[in-house]
Chains A and B, each alone.
Chain A
Amino acid sequence: MSTATLSDSSVRPTRSVSTGALSGVGVLAVLVGTAVVQLAGGSNPALMVVVAGLAYLVLAPAVVLAVQGRRAAVDRLFTSLAWGSFLLALVPLVSVVALVVKNGAKRFDLDFLTHSMRGIGPRDAHGGAYHAIIGTLQQVGIASLIAIPIGLLAAVYVVEHGRGPLVSAVQFVTDVMTGVPSIVAGLFVFTFWVLALGQGFSGFAAALALAILMLPTVVRTTEVVLALVPDSLREAALALGVPRWKTVVRVVLPTAASGITTGVVLAIARVTGETAPLLLTALNFDSINTNPFQGQQAGLPSYVFAQAGQPQAAALDRAWAGALTLLLLVLLLNLVARLISRRTRLKG
């Protein structure tokens, strides 16, 4: 054991590398990146950015090491790594959104939002997703009406009332269901509802499949959020002579409301984009069908799938516009959820 001393040779706090100097290192790294790629005979700008990033990861800590010492250099290295990972994670997100917006904007207009595909061939320029928007709203709406109450009540049972093996059973089954591929849910409804019970293809059948997919997410997230509500609040309410069920409804659920809303919206957003179950349950349809309980119905994902499968440019444009519509729908849903959870939280 060496004796502890307050002076540490790895730290030189009196000297520091300025932001200006670090930007200099950044410029140097870009030059290195460009030079290396061009020397190797390439011209890919993405590759240059990657090499420049790696060069910065080496150069910046090296400069800091020379000026400030080891600890500051390690700090710089990991700060740069964290920033780098953040930017890397942003790349696919931003590029997907940018691509959908760019390609979708061509056909995303009032005409697209208010017309169906009735009588429109893949080559024709017009046509829209009105029927698919109706279908998606109905299918996801019905699925939510089924899955959210069941999911909430199941989670309340598990956290607030459940004892013994039934709780583990519910948890095990929800865990398994979380991993079920969406096409399996579609196949199940197809064989059970559409074929065995002879109910035929319909928007409602699609809603059933989506509800199966939503259920585990709702149960799991609600469970986690409810478990976060401190027991002291439950005890406070019980000690006031409030019955258990009222404690849950009036104290526990409101306290967990914003978390539950987030979980529920994530579940809805997740199933809104599901394609496989729709193809087996509602098929697709070119015309408007406002009755979810009878006959084939379009949905935005199956609409995009169908249009994207055509070779004609007009159909591909419609597919992109459909994808943009879907994206905006999910975005809108998230905004609404934010508003709700902000309102339920007490103004403080």
Chain B
Amino acid sequence: MAKRIVATDVSAYYGSLKAIEGVSLSIEPKSVTALIGPSGCGKSTFLRTLNRMHEVIPGARVEGKVLLDDEDLYGEGVDAVAVRRTIGMVFQRPNPFPTMSIYDNVAAGLRLNGIKGRQRLDEAVERSLRGANLWTEVKDRLGKPGAGLSGGQQQRLCIARAIAVEPQVLLMDEPCSALDPISTLAIEDLMTDLKDRYTIVIVTHNMQQAARVSDSTGFFTIDGPGQPGRLVEIDTTEKIFSNPSEKRTEDYITGRFG
């Protein structure tokens, strides 16, 4: 069920401001791809173009082509809602629905998409919570509010919520930046588990994290303030961290810049 993403010449705008320019890359199925780079270089913006969340912001638009296997996400007649159902997303800050219980949070995506039936939902909830490594911690209090969990548990709850709708691809926008090291480790382990079934793209500020969890790494940067962000290079994580082709990548990774 994991699918390949191929982006061709993608540019994204906020109103008249060009946030990223001419990004082309290919993301392999059943792998973890990390996007790194300094703040404001457009890596989160690029991530959001991959499931058409970018255009949710008023005035924002995207140019270029993003193929999921062989279907253009920005093609004519493609429904953004259907795209988001296929390509799930986990955000920087855990954002469980505050009015819903743990169970309802996980079931939310299914319920809101019209899937009913207690047994089916029960199964999906258990499977997703097990998938997010949260089942044993919450199985006795599924009716309690999701907002009552710890930060790390909330983030795993959000991951469970995202995988409950069985997406093909999982996008993670700095999923660990608001978490402590132990919760971070739990999520990183989870990513390694999940890549058996999903294509995972993760934006991170933490280069050790990129090195630990990812198979390939893309480096984004900007030339200066007001300039659009660009992809400098993308390669296997091993190559990027040991012998990158571009000097700018090496400077960033060794801490000489950014």
Identify the A interface with B (CB < 8 A).
Answer: 163, 230, 232-243, 246-247, 250-251, 254-255, 257, 344-348
Contacts and interface: CB of A to CB of B under 8 A. Distances in A.
A255 B91 CA distance: 19
Given A241-B86, A348-B144, A236 B158 contact: yes
B142 to A, nearest CB: 13
A247 B53 CA distance: 14
Given A240-B84, A240-B109, 8 more contacts: A230-B95, A235-B91, A236-B97, A238-B53, A238-B56, A242-B81, A251-B99, A255-B97
B98 A233 contact: yes
A348 B53 CA distance: 31
B95 A241 contact: no
A240 B165 contact: yes
A232 B112 contact: no
A220 B201 CA distance: 41
Interface string B95-137: 1111111000000110011000000000000000000000000
B108 A232 contact: no
Contact of B95 (A233, A250, A254, A345): A233
Interface string B71-101: 0000000000111111011010101111111
Interface residues of B, number: 33
B93 A232 contact: yes
A269 B145 CA distance: 32
A240 B58 contact: no
Nearest to B161: A240
Contacts of A257: 99
Contacts of A237: 97, 108, 112
A344 B99 CA distance: 8
B176 interface: no
Interface in B28-67: 51, 53, 56, 58
Interface centre among A235, A240, A243, A346 (most CB of B within 10 A): A240
Contacts of A234: 56
Nearest to B158: A236
A232 to B, nearest CB: 4
25 contacts: A232-B91, A233-B98, A235-B91, A235-B95, A236-B91, A236-B96, A236-B158, A236-B161, A237-B108, A238-B53, A238-B84, A239-B84, A239-B88, A239-B91, A240-B85, A240-B112, A240-B113, A241-B83, A242-B109, A242-B112, A243-B81, A251-B99, A251-B112, A346-B99, A348-B148
